[in-house]
Amino acid sequence: MAVLTPKLIKIEGSAEDVNDPHIRMVGKQAEVLSGFEFVAGGERTGRVMFDGVEWPAVWSDDPSIQLERCDRVLVDKIYEGRMFVKHVA
């Protein structure tokens, strides 16, 4: 019979995964390269540059804000290979 302790069981929670390489990007700024037009499904998608790497991005903030090339945006999260960005406060 095995005894399982909390150290051996992965418990679902809200804690961030320290092994996730994208965690370091959240809260940092990226530069708008292009796009952020509405597409099917209601998302505003575009391209941003972060740390010398171009990323597909999704605007996750106020839809009335217009974005231009070279604008700065804040990385909100990385999900399914896309960078979700919002307005720099």
User: Can you tell me the distance from the alpha carbon of 51 to that of 30, in angstroms, rounded to the nearest whole number?
Assistant: 8
Compute how many other C-beta atoms are within 10 angstroms of the C-beta atom of residue 49.
14
Tens of pLDDT along 24-73? Answer: 889 999 999 998 887 767 789 999 999 999 999 999 888 888 889 999 99
Q: What is the pLDDT of residue 52?
A: 93
Q: What is the pLDDT of residue 62?
A: 86
Q: Which residue has the tokens 């217009």?
A: 66
For the chain, the first-to-last Cα distance in angstroms comes to: 55
Which DSSP symbol is given to 12?
Answer: P
Q: Copy the structure tokens of residue 50.
A: 């972060």
Q: What is the pLDDT of residue 9?
A: 58
Q: What is the pLDDT of residue 75?
A: 95
Domains defined along the chain, listed by start: 23-87 (2.40.50.140)
**Higher pLDDT pick, 1 / 72:** 72
User: Can you tell me the distance from the alpha carbon of 59 to that of 39, in angstroms, rounded to the nearest whole number?
Assistant: 11
pTM score over 0.85: no
